[in-house]
Homo-oligomer: A and B are copies of this chain.
Amino acid sequence: MIRSAPSSSSVDDRLPASRIPAAERRELILDAATNVFGELGYAGATTDQVAKAAGISQPYVVRMFGSKENLFVEVMERTGDRILEVFRAAMADTDDPRPVSARIGAAYVDLIEDRGIMLSLMQGFMLGSDPRIGPVARAGFMRIYKALRDEGGFEPVQIREFLAEGMLINTLLATGITESLDEDADAIELLTCTFGDKLALVRDGLAGNPALISSKA
């Protein structure tokens, strides 16, 4: 989060952001929005929080995407793309000697290291009753289902079990149980049972992702 070139050492921190191509800025905003929406939800997040996380001003966020709603929809479609990308890579990786199911499971855990991706998608899933976001959320979910079935060669039951475990993982992540487990033996038991030997990795992934959002302010 480096703030352009700090000309003098103090005075005013609020110099204009460094000029970079719009396409590139767009990606930065989408990255920031993915994290902010993932933590706070669509309605709970503000465009100003996204802007600050991206290091630019609030009006720029709105102008680039037209509206907060458009931004969220793009975030959802983008996270859906990325997840499918990772799954497809895992399914195609025939060098890995493990069965496809194990490869995809590992891919899922890898995805979790970036909290925002799973959480922002999950936040979208919770908005089914929204007339604009709902259809996108449903399409995003079914798209993943279809890919696993048609490209992974899984039976519906296998996919259901896989998705179920994924939704549990997402929920545990969203509640923050993965972070507050100090001294709570029960939580550790559940998390160990869910993540197995990958638990440390999950926690490290989170630790490496410092609090981008200071809760509310």
Contacts and interface: CB of A to CB of B under 8 A. Distances in A.
B190 A156 contact: yes
Contacts of A130: 215-216
Contacts of A127: 41, 44, 174
A123 B187 CA distance: 20
Contact of A176 (B138, B164, B184): B138
Contacts of A39: 129
Interface string A136-179: 01100110011001000000110111011101101111111100
Interface residues of A, number: 52
Contact of A141 (B123, B129, B137, B175): B175
A151 B29 CA distance: 48
Most B Cβ at <10 Å: residue of A128, A156, A172: A128
A99 interface: no
Interface of A: 39-44, 122-123, 125-131, 134, 137-138, 141-142, 145-146, 149, 156-157, 159-161, 163-165, 167-168, 170-177, 180, 184, 186-187, 189-190, 193-194, 213, 215-216
Given A125-B174, A142-B186, A159-B190, 6 more contacts: A41-B43, A41-B126, A42-B44, A138-B176, A142-B184, A168-B168
19 contacts: A41-B43, A42-B44, A43-B43, A44-B127, A122-B171, A126-B174, A129-B176, A131-B215, A134-B175, A137-B176, A138-B176, A141-B177, A142-B184, A142-B190, A145-B186, A156-B190, A157-B193, A164-B165, A168-B168
